């Protein structure tokens, strides 16, 4: 793999990219996760050029006709779909279905087609992600998908499991208050008293922190899932161990998906008091269901 001037990524990122290159081709689905949006977009541009490069040597050469079009964002086989002009600035199902249909049409010039989605973690609603799911499960051989995320944990687990994630530029740091609030919610889920959980969910009323609280809570739940399969934890190991001892993987997944749905509902300005009450009931239902 060639790293021309202007694409001097850090050592770890270069090693990851070179390992992908040694396999002969890029994975069909890649998530680029970075708090630095500009750097992530540069990496996406690099991967798009790599995919369509027409030189016979190391790719991307950045000098062939295909690469030059990629750099100018004028290549007919590289798309940067934009969200619909709606208030939430998210993609809608109708647009996604059009992209799915287009993905099965052969490329115009290059050997592959590339779709780059910017800010995917905030623009892809759970409904849209589920619409895309079958395409990601059984993609056409000549198509590549690149999702740019600040925090890939905001994507559904069913989506992330089908992507190769490249993290660079430092992990997004969560607010300490958000982490503490998430741990209290996890404690509430474990508590025998419903009031403990309902009280802990009040933290979601903070419009500045609720996204980070959900992110931290989902990480705690994922840590618990990881322990069930022998993986290491990223956060509070003792709390994750107690969750893993109490709940099955299926229940933990259901809780993560509940967090995803609830977070999107808050973004849609749902009544927060009604949501926290319903959320409390749903966590309790999942906890006690057989």
Find the Cα–Cα–Cα–Cα dihedral 56, 59, 63, 66, rounded to 10°.
80
- 173 pLDDT exceeds 70? no
- 198 pLDDT exceeds 90? yes
Q: Please state, in angstroms and as integers, the Cα–Cα distance from residue 79 to each residue in 62, 171, 173, 223, following that order.
A: 18, 27, 31, 35
**Cα–Cα dist 10/78, whole Å:** 25
Tokens 């508590």 sit on residue: 191
Backbone angles phi and psi of 288, in degrees to 5: -100, -5
pLDDT of residue 50: 94
Q: Model confidence over 240-254: pLDDT tens digits?
A: 999 999 999 889 988
Sheet architecture: strand order including 113-117? 78-79, 113-117, 143-149, 29-33, 164-167
**Cα–Cα dist 289/88, whole Å:** 35
- 288 pLDDT exceeds 70? yes
Q: Which fold has domain 176-288?
A: Zinc Finger, Delta Prime; domain 3 (1.20.272)
pLDDT of residue 215: 84
Q: What's the whole-number average pLDDT of the chain?
A: 88
Which residues have C-beta within 8 Å of that of residue 183, sequence separation ≥ 6? 216, 220, 236, 239
pLDDT of residue 284: 95
Over residues 15-44, mean pLDDT: 83
Same fold, 11-167 and 176-288: no
**69 backbone φψ class: left, alpha, beta (φ>0; ψ -120 to 50):** alpha
Helix (H, G, I), strand (E, B) or coil at 121: helix
The structural domains of the chain, with segments of one domain joined by +, span: 11-167, 176-288
Q: Model confidence over 57-88: pLDDT tens digits?
A: 888 999 999 999 999 999 999 999 988 776 55
Over residues 198-206, mean pLDDT: 95
Domain 11-167 superfamily per CATH? P-loop containing nucleotide triphosphate hydrolases (3.40.50.300)
Is 0.75 topped by the overall pTM?
no
Eight-class DSSP state of 109: S
- 258 pLDDT exceeds 70? yes
Residue 86, token pair as written in the block:
């709606």
Tokens 């890649």 sit on residue: 30
pLDDT of residue 136: 83
Q: Please state, in angstroms and as integers, the Cα–Cα distance from residue 209 to each residue in 133, 184, 197, 203, 262, following that order.
A: 29, 14, 18, 8, 14
Q: Counting every residue, how long is the chain? A: 290
| Whole-number CA gyration radius for the chain | 21
pLDDT of residue 208: 85
Residue 29, token pair as written in the block:
């689905």
């Amino acid at each position: 793999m060639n790293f021309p001037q202007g694409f001097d990524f850090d050592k770890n990122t270069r090693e990851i990219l070179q390992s992908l290159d040694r396999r002969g081709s890029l994975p069909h689905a890649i998530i680029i996760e970075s708090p630095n949006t500009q750097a992530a977009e540069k990496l996406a541009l690099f991967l798009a050029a790599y995919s369509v490069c027409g030189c016979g040597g190391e790719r991307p050469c950045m000098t062939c006709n295909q690469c030059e079009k990629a750099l100018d964002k004028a290549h007919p086989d590289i798309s940067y779909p934009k969200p619909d002009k709606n208030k939430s600035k998210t993609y809608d199902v109708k647009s996604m279905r059009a992209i799915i249909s287009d993905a099965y049409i052969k490329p115009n010039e290059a050997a592959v087609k590339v779709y780059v989605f910017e800010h995917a973690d905030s623009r892809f609603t759970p409904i849209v992600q589920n619409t895309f799911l079958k395409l990601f499960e059984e993609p056409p051989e000549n198509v590549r998908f690149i999702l740019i995320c600040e925090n890939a944990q905001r994507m559904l687990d069913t989506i992330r499991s089908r992507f190769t994630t490249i993290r660079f530029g430092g992990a997004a740091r969560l607010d300490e208050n958000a982490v503490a609030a998430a741990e209290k919610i996890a404690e509430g889920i474990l508590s025998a008293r419903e009031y403990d959980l309902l009280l802990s969910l009040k933290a979601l009323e903070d419009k500045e922190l609720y996204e980070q609280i959900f992110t931290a809570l989902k990480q705690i739940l994922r840590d618990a899932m990881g322990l069930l399969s022998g993986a290491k934890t990223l956060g509070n190991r003792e709390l994750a161990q107690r969750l893993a001892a109490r709940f099955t993987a299926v229940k933990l997944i259901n809780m993560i998906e509940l967090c995803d749905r609830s977070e999107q509902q808050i973004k849609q300005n749902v009544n927060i008091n009604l949501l926290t009450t319903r959320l409390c009931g749903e966590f309790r239902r999942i906890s006690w269901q057989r």
